[in-house]
Amino acid sequence: MLDSYQRKINYARFSITDLCNLRCLYCMPEEGVTKQNCGDILRIEDFITIARVLVAMGVDKIRLTGGEPLVRKGLLALVEELGSWPELKDLSLTTNGLLLPRLGEDLKKAGLKRVNISLDTLDPEKYKYITRFGDLAKVLDGIDTALSLFAKVKLNTVLIKGFNDNEIESFVDLTRRLPVDVRFIELMPFKGQSQFAFGTYLSGDEVLRRCPELKPLEADDPSAPASLYAYEGALGRVGIIRPMSCKFCEHCNRIRISADGRLLTCLHACEEVNLRPYLQDQEALRQIITEAVAKKPQEHHLMEGQLQERDMGKIGG
């Protein structure tokens, strides 16, 4: 499926829940999100229906995210179904890692191909601060589990000025001894948590300033947002994702489905289409998705102050 700028849209991210077992300062309010009625959140069957239509339209890559996808009941059934579709070349998941020791093996058996784990600091006290109460040891166990199960493991590290700039070298060093890609992500402001984001933004260039021996690598996928680098002889790579200082909208291939059934064609645009009324009719669903994709914005306007009303946890990062 092509949008009106001839971009091929083949990647869908499903936020399968907006609930989370952490409360990262830049992502969610302290009290968490208000629990919605069961009827307001897509059922696992609804995600499968939407996925079936999207795959028929050319989507061959799905990422499950949230909120925290591992707290969603029915996750294994969803992975098992999607994992059995040969048209789906990639089925992955983004998680804070806390529940991976418990669920990782079953997820792998169900057909999950790879995971991204979010980790912004290697210091237990700072981890507790940024997540409001998280236990670093549990995430580290989750990373060990992922490394033992999956061929590809990526760590997502949001760059936060005055918080983890002094840990950049330590994160990059992990790639010397572990087969992980560490991806540094520039902090983006969302309306709800924008106060935190404005004072703490740090450009991705800081990584190269601190680690000048990193050598640039060819991108393995032109639509992937990360610029890739590596130390010579390292087991893993370093990615820098710069949505703020260098937007990558020109090659954007993605759409998002929120837990409450909204289709968002841009992470930072407030326009959304409610898919729920069309769930019983796959042709109508196809039609409404085609129309929405045709209106996918050319680019985001974050730097001009146009902020998304939903927090990242409500869209699916």
Binding stretches for ligand SAM (CB under 6 A): 20, 26-27, 65-66, 68, 94-96, 118, 156, 158, 185, 187-188, 190, 197, 312-313, 317
Report if residue 234 touches ligand SF4, rule: CB under 6 A.
no
Residue 23's binding partner out of ligand SF4, ligand SAM, none, with CB under 5 to 8 Å set by partner kind: ligand SF4
Site string for ligand SF4, 28-57 (x = CB under 6 A): x-----------------------------
Q: Kindly compute the dihedral angle of the four CA atoms of residues 43, 47, 48, 54, in this order, to the nearest 10 degrees.
A: 160
- Least separation in angstroms between residue 193's CB and ligand SAM is 6
- Rounded CA gap, 107 and 16, in Å? 15
If contact means CB under 5 to 8 A according to the sort of partner, which of ligand SAM, ligand SF4, none does residue 156 touch? ligand SAM
The Cα–Cα gap between 20 and 33 comes to 8
- Of residues 7, 13, 23, 256, which one binds ligand SF4 by CB under 6 A? 23
From the CA atom positions of the chain, what is the Rg in Å? 19
Number of residues that bind ligand SF4 (CB under 6 A): 12
Residue type for 24, please? Answer: C
> Of 65, 7, 56, nearest to 253 (Cα)?
7
> 30: Cβ–Cβ under 8 A, 6 or more apart, which residues?
23, 132
Residue 25 interacting with ligand SF4 (CB under 6 A):
no
Nearest approach, Cβ of residue 283 and ligand SAM (Å): 32
H helix runs in 57-193, sequence order: 75-83, 100-110, 124-131, 136-149, 168-177
**Measured from the CB of residue 75, what is the shortest distance to ligand SF4 in angstroms?**
15
Report yes or no: 98 and 138 within 8 Å, Cβ to Cβ: yes
Residues that bind ligand SF4 (CB under 6 A): 20, 22-24, 27-28, 66-68, 96, 118, 313
